[in-house]
Amino acid sequence: MSHYIPENLPSKIQHFIDGQFVDSIGGETFDVLDPVSNESYVQAAAGQKADIDLAVAAAQRAFKTGPWPRMLPRQRSRVLHKIADLIEARDQRLAELETFDTGLPITQALGQANRAAENFRFFADLIVAQRDDTYKVPGRQVNYVNRKPIGVAGLITPWNTPFMLESWKLAPALATGNTVVLKPAEFTPLSASLWAEIFREAGVPDGVFNLVNGLGEEAGDALVKHPDVPLISFTGESRTGQIIFGNAAPFLKGLSMELGGKSPAVVFADADIDAALDATVFGVFSLNGERCTAGSRILVERPIYDDFVARYAERAKNIVVGDPHDPKTEVGALVHPEHYDKVMSYVEIGKTEARLVAGGGRPEGLETGNYVSPTVFADVAPDARIFQEEIFGPVVAITPFDTDEEALELANNTRYGLAAYIWTNNLKRAHNFSQSVEAGMVWLNSNNVRDLRTPFGGVKASGLGHEGGYRSIDFYTDQQAVHITLNEAHSPRFGTAK
């Protein structure tokens, strides 16, 4: 299979600090691989504590003395809309780079570019329409809320849809007047390097946006522990989230963490089975299965179980696996050989725990690259590792249930609680089940289509706090209460007794 390489790849990937592309102070670098050849195609600057210090100092200067936090909302809004225009104008290039760097199918990468632009438009509109609370006690007191940007936000993003997930944090952080230091995932730094030119062209002042590449243990760790970074927004694994939580504790930082998932898709016998099949196949095999909200445990009511498993396996076998740059490809290459090895180890574990009905190895004809056949296990017991642990690849576990109570027990039987998908035409059951399931987000008879106004976040090991809509505004601002007395201030007169 010929290996597509985009034109005009950078000769190196640098940091972007205070309006300048720079190498690491100590010259440290790391190799970046493409997931089809697994060969290094570029060296990226590996940020250390000294580089983070430089970036935070630039962001702090821009916050304390620069124009960005002091602009009128309408002025910032115009800049954010310009950013969205520039993203849309570059969508083909962005998708091409993202696909090359991540192994995501090109059609899905294109969708991510459009979603990134929409994130900026949404917050550009929201800050102009923003209103805050006022409380009155007639004739006595007026109290109002004064929102203020907090300072330097540390943004740490994952490798699974890098550019889109960066936009998700950058848009609200910048819209509210903060300055930022972004640390993208080390596996996928390519598309993040586009932000610098986009922001510069849109008129974002120097120092407002800073980018430091590097490893989580070095650059990420230094950002979390920096005393002048009051906010950390992190998306990634639950274990890493626990480490960040501990390291941020001495500084009492604001934390927003969107962590792992092992989300259930519950299919009742009265559901529209064709629609449920379409959604549950897409829900775990889109984005190569590398998505935190993947419905990776499918719970199916007994009367339809055998038929559902057979039809699901047939669909999985027919999924087009191949070159991520081919528009016909539905599942591309996993992001990195380390991750490929992890996913393949779970495939082998699954073979000892359950019944393999599709996939289970490397697709024929794809001898190199991080390719995994869409893999389906049936009759998966709730104590199986493939039922309990996040695999983050094109692997799904299907389990039968007999009663609503058993379905709920199975759905809630993991440490995670990010999303849940419920397929039923019984209105009462739909609402009762939705409200009882331990998940931050529930989709009823629908796939993962998200309204940007709604809160995004998980419960249990899946996260801390919510972003999205006004929740993002809340996270990135201080809400200062200002109290005004409208009549004489009556205070007890201490110290006047004779």
276-317: per-residue pLDDT in tens?
A: 999 999 999 999 999 999 999 999 999 999 999 999 999 999
pLDDT of res. 489: 84
Convert the pLDDT of each residue in 98-135 to its tens digit: 999 999 999 999 999 999 999 999 999 999 999 999 99
Tell me the C-alpha to C-alpha distance, in Å, between residue 399 and each of 208, 266, 298, 359. Answer: 49, 10, 6, 17
- Burial degree of 338 (CB within 10 A; 0-12, 13-18, 19+): exposed
SS3 content of the chain, % helix, strand, coil (to 5): 40, 20, 40
The strand pair at 20-22 and 179-183 is best described as: unpaired
Host H or E run for residue 285 = helix 273-285
Backbone angles phi, psi at 473, to 5 degrees: -60, -45
Rounded distance, CA 303 to CA 399, Å? 13
Neighbours of 247 (CB within 10 A): 16
3-state DSSP assignment of residue 92 = helix
Catalytic residue positions? 258
Structure token digits, residue 222? 């230094």
Host H or E run for residue 115 = helix 106-129
In the chain, the N- to C-terminal Cα span, in Å, equals: 97
CA angle 37, 291, 354 (to 5 degrees): 90
Q: Contact at 8 Å (CB) between 363 and 334?
A: no
Show Cβ contacts of residue 68 under 8 Å, excluding neighbours closer than 6 positions: 62, 76, 174, 177, 179, 204, 205, 208
Can you spell out the DSSP letters for 421-468?
Answer: EEE-S-HHHHHHHHHHS--SEEEESS-S---TTS-B--SGGGEES-BS
pLDDT of res. 241: 97
Domains of the chain and any CATH numbers: 12-259+462-482 (3.40.605.10), 264-444 (3.40.309.10)
b vs e for 394-410, b when ≥16 Cβ sit within 10 Å of the residue's Cβ?
bbbbbbbbeebebbbeb
CA angle 457, 463, 467 (to 5 degrees): 35
3-state DSSP assignment of residue 140 = coil
Rounded distance, CA 84 to CA 452, Å? 15
pLDDT of res. 3: 83
| Displacement of CA 376 from its chain's centroid (Å) | 25
Q: Contact at 8 Å (CB) between 87 and 138?
A: no
Residues of the chain scoring pLDDT < 70? 1-2
Structure token digits, residue 303? 């009367």
Q: Contact at 8 Å (CB) between 210 and 58?
A: yes
